[in-house]
Chain A
Amino acid sequence: MEGFFQFLQSFDLGRQIYQTVFYADRWSWYLDGLKLTLQLTCGAILIGTLLGVITALFSISGFAPLRFIAKVYTTIIRGTPTTVQLLIMYNVIMVSSTNKLLVGTLAFGINSGAYVAEILRGGIMSVDKGQTEAGRSLGLKQWQTMLYIVLPQAVKTSIPTYTSEFIVLFKETSIAGLIAVTELTKIANMITSQTYNAMVPLIVSALIYLAVVMLLTFVFGKLERRLRKSDAR
């Protein structure tokens, strides 16, 4: 390790890398940042999925007030910038909260819920009407037909868009630094302000984002192939 550090110190870029990544164990900061980024993402996708499923079911409900609630929610969230939503959550709605991670998770979760709802609604709409008719003609109730026949198919067609929403969300958490959550991008900024070096911390964080996205894409791809089993001849 010592030899590697001496090698780094021998040229300019190497010195920059040493200073912004290895000096004072700064590499562990990036990892802490990534951990917060992942916490935000996972928490938000959990909330988002829950809200999304409920909202999607509201939006196809036969009861008009529920459809109205779903419409208002998705319109507002999809019609305003995520950054503004995050700041409103932090500075207005949860101004008394000291748990910034919680505020961020909620803001991103509520944001994601609107998109998940639209993704799932699209999936439900894409299921042939004949499927519902077949279910109902057997005497199954509306909810049973939805739960056992329509939703499994809707979920399957929604998975590719849902996984891209997950990846979008993962990258979008980079704005959480605005409310002082020390996620990966914020960490890069903090290291820049200590070292007066912007390039290396930003590139490093970009590479970390990229690596995680590639890993997620790989895992989701595998999952999709498994779910497509029943389509195979």
Chain B
Amino acid sequence: MTQDKNDSIIQVTDLHKSFGKLEVLAGITENVKRGEVVAVIGPSGSGKSTFLRCLNLLEQPTSGHILVDGVDITDKKTDINKVRQGMGMVFQHFNLFPHLKVIDNITLAPLQLKVFSNKESARKAGMELLERVGLADKADSYPVQLSGGQKQRIAIARALAMSPRIMLFDEPTSALDPEMVGEVLKVMTDLAREGMTMVIVTHEMGFAREAADRVLFMDGGIIAEQGRPEEIFSNPKNPRTREFLSKVL
């Protein structure tokens, strides 16, 4: 494995996914470079979330290959659990564990997967993560006691607890009240600045424009257009991109 900043950490080749007769992904070939922040935009039903969920095999692709750090995760022999430990995921609906305190939400996986040998060191690392998302005072709260924005920041901290090299975000701000979007985006922006590789399905065009290195526009199960945010947003070439952006901007 090279440490070249330009090499691809995710390589997707001819990815197809069908649910029954419905073809959701119709052949996607795309690479994500180490440290790159990629925003995936597009109308609903375009396959954005399915594409993202294929990247850590929450959805099983119908055909095609996905290489993460050179390992083909579509190969049945690959230990997907091992690969997933290096890929954090943040969901639209947070999916915090309601029966566990905030700190235990964060330390559950690192403890079970033996990243830490004892509770104290796991808690210490967990507290540092909470510090990072500005919620250290909520360590002993239960998720139900938090606001949506706080829940999502905890969810990000939880995903970071396994020290992933890649973070996947599935519409992380779509379920939030408008006044809470900012606090979550700030945490994500910080993360991007620190050099985390991120793939973000989002409806936040302003954020995509500011924080992303590259924007993928998906429509009808394919990547209809992709490029630097300023190109996509200021000078889209594909008429479908233009139509979509005219609706959302």
Contacts and interface: CB of A to CB of B under 8 A. Distances in A.
Contact of B159 (A128, A130, A138, A148): A138
Contact of A148 (B58, B112, B142, B158): B112
In this complex, the interface size class of chain B, counting residues with CB under 8 Å from chain A, is 20 to 34
Interface stretch (A19-27, A139-147, A168-176, A194-202): A139-147
A149 B58 CA distance: 17
A152 B109 contact: no
Given A133-B58, A231-B144, A139 B99 contact: no
B95 A153 contact: no
Interface residues of A, number: 23
A156 interface: yes
Contacts of B87: 137
Contacts of A232: 142, 144
Interface string A112-132: 000000000000000010110
Nearest to A141: B81
Contacts of B97: 131, 134-135, 149, 153
B105 to A, nearest CB: 9
B93 interface: yes
Contact of B95 (A131, A148, A230): A131
Given A137-B89, A139-B82, A128 B95 contact: yes
B109 A138 contact: yes
A233 interface: yes
A136 interface: yes
B108 A130 contact: no
Most buried by A among B82, B84, B99, B155: B99
A138 B95 contact: no
B98 A137 contact: no
B158 A231 contact: no
Contact of B99 (A138, A156, A233): A156
Nearest to B143: A230
Contacts of B99: 152-153, 156, 230
Interface in B179-223: none
B91 A133 contact: yes
B98 A136 contact: no
Nearest to B161: A138
B118 to A, nearest CB: 17
Contact of B109 (A131, A139, A233): A139
5 smallest beta-carbon distances between A and B, as pairs: A139-B85, A134-B95, A138-B109, A137-B89, A130-B95
Interface of B: 56, 58, 81-89, 91, 93, 95-100, 108-109, 112-113, 142, 144-145, 155, 158-159, 161-162, 168
Interface of A: 128, 130-131, 133-141, 144, 148-149, 152-153, 156, 229-233
27 contacts: A130-B93, A130-B95, A131-B97, A133-B58, A133-B91, A134-B89, A134-B96, A134-B158, A136-B81, A137-B84, A137-B89, A137-B168, A138-B109, A138-B158, A139-B84, A139-B85, A139-B86, A139-B162, A140-B81, A140-B112, A140-B113, A153-B98, A153-B99, A156-B99, A230-B100, A231-B142, A233-B145
